[in-house]
Amino acid sequence: MKIRMKKAAAVALAAMMTVGTALPAAPVFADYDSVIDTDRTGTVTLHKIIENNGKNKQADGHTDAAVTNTPLDKIEFSYRKIADWLTETDDLGDKSTTGLYFTNLDQGIFGTSGIAGKAGINVTVAPTVFSHDVETGSSEDLSDGTADGKKTSVVYTTKAIEDAWSAILAAPGDGSTYTGETELHKYLKDNGTAMTKTDEAGKTTKSGLALGLYAFGETDITAHDGIDPSTNAAYVLEQGEVNPEYPIVESPAKPFLMSFPMTNVSEVTEGNTTYKAGTVWEYDLHAYPKDQTTTVIKRIIDPDETEAEAAFRTNEDYQMGEIIKQVIIADAPALQKAYELLPAEQNGTATTQPAVTHKTYKITDTMTEGYHFKSVTKVVLGAKRAQVPTENSYFAEGFAELTECEYKTNGDPVANSGDFFVTGKDGDHAFTVTMTDSGLARLDALTVDSQVAVFFEADLDSAAKIGTDDNYLKKGNMNLPTLTWRNSNTLERSVDGNRVYVYTYELDITKTGLTDLTQATFIVSRKESASSSTPLSFVKESDGIYHIYDANGLDQSLAAAMILSEIHPDAAGKLHIKGFDSKTYTFKETATQGGFELLKETFDVTFNEETTTRDGELTNAVLSVDGASDDLDIDKGEGGNGGLVKVTIENHKTVTLRTGGEGRLLVIGVGTAGIVGLLALTFFRRKRQLTSTEE
């Protein structure tokens, strides 16, 4: 049976699906008619696709071939019919009731003893009551006490249901013990009907749905929740490993409503006929429910690349005290804008549905000890893109720079002085960029899904870890980005990004051959090219133990006398130096014990990282002197960290020539021993020799 309706009614049901849903065009229908056929049933196809191209989808119940991003398989949805269309055939004034009102609302959701009545939720569904004439001779049951020829109906508009649904999703308010969204998920899990789990294309379909209003919820995301079922905790992954449940869903999509049928929100064409929006009913509907997959990523800007070439790393090694430039990129989705309500949806004087607005948006970075924050250099905002741009190229592609607030003498931001403020100071192990009202307004104005990029600088100080470690959370020097956000339709949420590791290395020199080993003196330079080098300064931690001077971190307040250009072994001949990058460093012995020869040549030590994984494990280290080279020992044994290099250096006594034949014999003997003996120099040994020497 087909029942007449006022064209363009019930369009707002599409808007009810925009909460956590993106809907995009052109399904095939059995007919395009302006009346509801109550003999038909509905069909729904849900598409689980994340990272949907940054497009702002229209909620029109259609498919969209342009949505080609990552599908999620093995996701379960459940559904429940929660209201019927009112199918009164009598006129209400000049309007047909069918297609305007719902009845028989599910009291498990909307009743005072259901979700809507829980403490902290307390949602009221505004009813509409009308009395209308019953045709003469009608067989309708009037035993409800109404006057002859009259019938009273208590019904609900789409606007009233949408308002109540949104209020439940947004609960709780401050101090509440209930979370409306959680309650809806639980209710649909316990009282709904599970659909077949999504296939490899991210699709699941259910047909034969009796006409009415339905609630849908994502009731099983365990295939992509990132939790190891054997431990019930997050998977512990080594660097370079991918979570077996990738891509990860941090939380289920918001429960959403769909009506069967629904009026066409967008224009549709069949053959030579085009139907304007709001003129025909559609029974086969598609929805793209969006999970909370807002992401935040961290990258290190390779110090050895130019701005034009800019390579971005998730791991990198640095010299202690060297400035580490990084960028955090966080999603900034475009939110639902205000829209006009149809007459049947309007409640009192309300003629528009308010826009969803940002309430909180902040990006935090947390660093381990030895790895500290220096400053935020720039924050930019622009359309979401797959590639990580360089700092300068953002602006060539339409990104806008946000303005940082001014600060009071106590460090608090000056109100209304910028789009964001930074909490955290030079030397701290964390900082936060927080959007002000001005910054949130810029996010509210977005019309396409976008991203915020925070460029900042950090530094490794004298507490930095050397190399790597078997413990996952202690691998090198780590920092972790976090995005925290809330809008007017959600609770506050936080999502962590990828861990980033920075490594530095240590050289262990064993000095031999002297009776007073502390008198050996070295200076060290970092080779910048074949013809240039930079002298290094050091800070003494204890006898024989030094780290490269950090002018930007913990060492910046040291007295000048504590900043050393020369270093010495301890009494046992041990010299430990911390803080090397994967570069080449030149060592020169400038003084030694009286009666012993200085090393006649400088020698170079080159630290070679693993260039593919950059995991803190050195592939090798090379000692070079006067055109010759040899591999050095890297400590990878028990207790080793893959970043400690060992070398033994020996001095010989000075040769004093005598007169006469005895002196000539000595000269001949020295010559026979070879040039190394003449210079009294033993620089390097094979690993097996190093081991025996140390023992």
**CA dist list (Å): 528 to 73, 319, 425, 581, 663:** 51, 13, 31, 12, 46
Number of domains composing the chain: 3
- Predicted pLDDT of residue 476: 75
501, 531, 548 - which closes a domain? 501
* Whether residue 438 has pLDDT greater than 90: yes
205 with 310, same domain?
Answer: no
37-46, 259-268, 338-347, 542-551 — which is least confidently predicted? 338-347
Give the structural domain span for 605.
Answer: 505-694
118 with 41, same domain?
Answer: yes
* Whether residue 435 has pLDDT greater than 70: yes
**CA dist list (Å): 460 to 158, 323, 373, 549:** 58, 8, 9, 11
Q: Can you name the residues that pair with 545 across neighbouring β-strands?
A: 542, 576
302 with 274, same domain?
Answer: no
Contact 431, 291 (CB under 8 A): no
Residue range 113-149, pLDDT digits in tens: 999 888 778 888 888 876 666 554 444 444 444 445 6
Contact 490, 182 (CB under 8 A): no
Distance CA 421, CA 423 (A): 7
SS3 content of the chain, % helix, strand, coil (to 5): 15, 35, 50
- Predicted pLDDT of residue 690: 36
Question: Which of the two residues, 552 and 144, has the higher pLDDT score?
Answer: 552
327 with 281, same domain?
Answer: no
In sequence order, the 6+-apart residues with CB closer than 8 A to the CB of 669 are: none
264 with 412, same domain?
Answer: no
306 with 405, same domain?
Answer: yes
- Predicted pLDDT of residue 217: 94
Q: Region 557-571: what's the mean pLDDT? A: 94
* Whether residue 230 has pLDDT greater than 70: yes
- Predicted pLDDT of residue 398: 64
CATH number at residue 423: 2.60.40.740
- Predicted pLDDT of residue 237: 63
Q: Which of 492, 498, 454 is nearest to 478 (CA)?
A: 498
Q: Region 441-456: what's the mean pLDDT? A: 88
480 with 621, same domain?
Answer: no
422 with 530, same domain?
Answer: no
166-170, 318-322, 466-470, 609-613 — which is least confidently predicted? 466-470
Please give the mean pLDDT across all residues of the chain. 76
Q: Can you name the residues that pair with 173 across neighbouring β-strands?
A: none
Q: Can you name the residues that pair with 85 across neighbouring β-strands?
A: 102
103-112, 575-584, 634-643 — which is least confidently predicted? 634-643
Tokens of 179: 């979370």
* Whether residue 678 has pLDDT greater than 80: no
Which among 96-105, 210-219, 300-309, 389-398 has the top mean pLDDT? Answer: 210-219
**Sign, CA torsion 667/672/677/679:** positive
Distance CA 658, CA 450 (A): 84
457 with 544, same domain?
Answer: no
**CA dist list (Å): 470 to 199, 240, 467, 508:** 38, 15, 11, 21
In terms of C-beta density within 10 A (0-12 exposed, 13-18 middle, 19 or more buried), how is residue 379 classed? buried
75-79, 125-129, 349-353 — which is least confidently predicted? 349-353
Contact 527, 584 (CB under 8 A): yes
In terms of C-beta density within 10 A (0-12 exposed, 13-18 middle, 19 or more buried), how is residue 560 classed? exposed
Q: Give the global pTM.
A: 0.64
Helices 180-191 and 158-170 sit at what angle, rounded to 10 degrees? 110
CATH number at residue 515: 2.60.40.10
287, 310, 338 - which closes a domain? 287
392 with 535, same domain?
Answer: no
Tokens of 200: 């490899």
Q: Which of 564, 669, 10 is nearest to 279 (CA)?
A: 10
Q: Region 93-99: what's the mean pLDDT? A: 56
287, 307, 329 - which closes a domain? 287
- Count Cα atoms within 13 angstroms, Cβ side, for 486: 13
Which among 10-19, 171-180, 382-391, 504-513 has the top mean pLDDT? Answer: 504-513
Helices within 74-208 (DSSP H only): 107-110, 158-170, 180-191
* Whether residue 365 has pLDDT greater than 50: yes
Distant-in-sequence contacts of 303-309, Cβ < 8 A, 24+ apart:
307/390, 307/391, 307/392, 308/390
Question: Which of the two residues, 135 and 408, has the higher pLDDT score?
Answer: 408
589 with 653, same domain?
Answer: yes
* Whether residue 342 has pLDDT greater than 90: no
Contact 288, 24 (CB under 8 A): yes
Q: Region 364-389: what's the mean pLDDT? A: 83
Distance CA 135, CA 389 (A): 70
9-13, 232-236, 545-549, 570-574 — which is least confidently predicted? 9-13
329 with 468, same domain?
Answer: yes
